[in-house]
């Protein structure tokens, strides 16, 4: 794979990348790590941006992009809209298909009818918009429909777009910019709620800020266990060669996550690009919403069987043990042990900052983030993944009841303060817990169906570190750094759906 950046490419640090010590120290990426730059690299990256105009700047840019610390701000055009073929899998959604095709004018489109009951309606709409149409006589699932479309693609790039989305104006351009990096195989937009004039229902207002498809406003490189651990197939744009092997047709749910993780394992970068936005028509009827959450939960078992620790609900690191001990034991000695563990992590972090001018000050800044992430992991596991186990434990233990109630309430209120939805705190927290209950029920049902406990088992630190991913050549001379022990992980394990 050619990973050389074109001359003139502009690379900028992500907004989530922290700089300190006069620009020498960088903290962020996926997974989080602290890096210390040499003087020459600091000068190149003086204002948080660099232009690739020399071998040294090219090496530095490559390192920052690979570590998830930066993104491409501009690159000489490698691809245009003419190089893209859009593949739309559809089944019995003629009105939604027509709405989507209306905003894709000027793009080459292949519609794959996956066994619609009324194929004539789909055929008429495809003919009206001048798109190619392929058909499965019997429904084989969205993965098979996408694969059928992929085999018919003759352009360098392919965009998979579901029929129930509406791309915002200019959605494709930011994705093509990131694909200006030859190491990027797939780029994904932010999936936001379809805009309605009024959001009347509670579920609709909840989904507007907490949809399983919306991965937030911060750009990131996508890796298992990272800040953005997956991207959904509602919309994906990438190189046709990066979709090697296609979607796993045996999976009716989670096939998109599986494909993304296989793509990363093959050495491609996958980028999440929230500057590009695609609106999705969320399920907002209560029964349909809960059913969809449970359906997503059933994907955890097959994903865990394929990707092991990537789906683990908790990574059992020192800080996670400390938080769990304090929560469940609720005794002074447990608090003392927890403080001791925290102090040991603080000292260990300071030792890894040997190149820092103020290693202890940096460690004091970082450890609270790891502590908060550990608390969030514990709360998520108790309320989302392990709630069937928590019920009998709470019935026999007052301490477990207190811990579970505190985790459920505090986690919901903290998330409410972060998202600021059009809901009062208690309503939002109640919906958050219903979301977790439905997902967890699906997770356990999937585990029973597949006769596995894999999606329920905790993981050990390093079980899904960079060493298990093929991420290109080794680090350049300009960079020296270490992964920080308190790696940040998304609140509900690596698979939020």
Torsion of CA 376, 377, 381, 384, to 10 degrees: 50
Residue 238's beta-bridge partner residues? Answer: 158, 186
∠ CA 245-247-252, nearest 5°, is: 150
Rg, C-alpha atoms of the chain = 23
Q: Is the pLDDT of residue 476 over 50?
A: no
Burial class for 391, CB neighbours closer than 10 Å (0-12, 13-18, 19+)? exposed
The helix/strand count (H/E) of the chain reads as 16, 16
State the average pLDDT for the chain.
89
The total of other beta-carbon atoms located within 10 Å of residue 283's CB is 18
SS3 74: strand
Residue 193's beta-bridge partner residues? Answer: 280
Mean pLDDT computed over 392-406: 95
Q: Is the pLDDT of residue 416 over 50?
A: yes
Q: Is the pLDDT of residue 486 over 70?
A: no
What confidence tens digit (pLDDT) does each residue in 63-113 have?
A: 999 999 999 999 998 889 999 999 999 999 999 999 999 999 899 999 999
Q: How far is CA 281 from CA 175, 235, 382, in A?
A: 22, 13, 30
- φ, ψ dihedrals at 323, nearest 5°: -65, -45
Distance CA(486)–CA(374), nearest Å, equals 8
What confidence tens digit (pLDDT) does each residue in 12-65 have?
A: 999 999 888 888 889 998 878 888 899 999 999 988 999 999 999 999 999 999
Q: Where are the alpha helices (DSSP H) in 353-466?
A: 359-380, 387-396, 398-419, 425-449
Burial class for 197, CB neighbours closer than 10 Å (0-12, 13-18, 19+)? exposed
Mean pLDDT computed over 264-274: 96
The total of other beta-carbon atoms located within 10 Å of residue 414's CB is 16
Model pTM above 0.85: yes
pLDDT given for residue 23 in this prediction:
86
Structural domains of the chain, with CATH: 10-76 (no CATH), 81-284 (3.90.550.10), 318-464 (no CATH)
Distance CA(311)–CA(463), nearest Å, equals 11
């Amino acid at each position: 794979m050619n990973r050389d950046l074109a001359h003139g490419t502009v690379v900028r640090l992500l907004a989530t990348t922290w700089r300190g010590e006069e620009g020498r120290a960088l903290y962020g990426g996926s997974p989080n790590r602290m890096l210390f730059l040499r003087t020459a690299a600091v000068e190149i990256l003086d204002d948080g941006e660099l232009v690739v105009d020399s071998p040294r700047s090219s090496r530095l840019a490559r390192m920052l992009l690979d570590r998830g610390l930066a993104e491409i701000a501009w690159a000489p055009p490698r691809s245009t809209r003419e190089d893209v073929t859009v593949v739309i899998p559809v089944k019995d959604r003629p009105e939604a298909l027509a709405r989507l095709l209306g905003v894709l004018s000027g793009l080459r489109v292949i519609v794959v009818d996956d066994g619609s009951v009324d194929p004539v309606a789909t055929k008429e709409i495809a003919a009206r918009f001048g798109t190619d149409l392929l058909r499965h006589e019997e429904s084989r699932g969205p993965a098979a429909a996408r694969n059928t479309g992929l085999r018919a693609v003759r352009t360098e790039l392919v965009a998979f777009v579901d029929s129930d989305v509406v791309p915002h104006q200019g959605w494709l351009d930011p994705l093509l910019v990131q694909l200006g990096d030859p190491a990027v195989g797939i780029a994904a937009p932010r999936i936001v709620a379809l805009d309605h004039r009024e959001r009347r229902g509670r579920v609709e207002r909840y989904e507007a800020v907490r949809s399983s498809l919306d991965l937030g406003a911060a750009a990131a490189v996508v890796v298992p266990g990272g800040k953005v651990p997956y991207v959904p197939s509602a919309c994906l744009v990438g190189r046709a060669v990066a979709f090697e092997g296609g979607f796993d047709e045996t999976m009716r749910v989670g096939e998109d996550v599986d494909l993304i993780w296989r793509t990363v394992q093959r050495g491609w970068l996958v980028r999440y690009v929230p500057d590009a936005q695609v609106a999705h028509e969320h399920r907002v009827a209560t029964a349909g919403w809960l059913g969809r959450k449970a359906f997503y939960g059933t994907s955890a078992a097959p994903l865990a069987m394929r990707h092991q620790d990537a789906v683990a609900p908790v990574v059992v690191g020192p800080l996670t043990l400390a938080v769990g001990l304090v929560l469940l034991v609720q005794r002074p000695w447990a608090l003392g042990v927890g403080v001791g563990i925290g102090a040991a992590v603080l000292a260990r972090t300071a030792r890894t900052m040997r190149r820092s001018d103020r290693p202890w000050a940096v460690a004091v800044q970082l450890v609270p983030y790891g502590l908060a992430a550990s608390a969030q992991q514990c709360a998520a596991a108790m309320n989302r993944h392990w709630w069937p186990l928590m019920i009998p434990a709470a019935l026999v233990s007052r301490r477990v009841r207190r811990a579970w109630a505190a985790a459920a309430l505090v986690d919901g209120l903290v998330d409410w303060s972060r998202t600021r939805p059009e809901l009062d705190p208690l309503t939002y927290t109640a919906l958050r817990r219903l979301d977790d209950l439905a997902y967890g029920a699906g997770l356990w049902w999937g585990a029973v169906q597949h006769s596995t406990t894999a999606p329920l088992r905790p993981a050990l630190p390093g079980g899904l570190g960079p060493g298990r991913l093929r991420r290109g050549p080794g680090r350049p001379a300009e960079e020296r750094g270490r992964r920080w022990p308190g790696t940040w992980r998304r609140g509900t394990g690596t698979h939020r759906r």
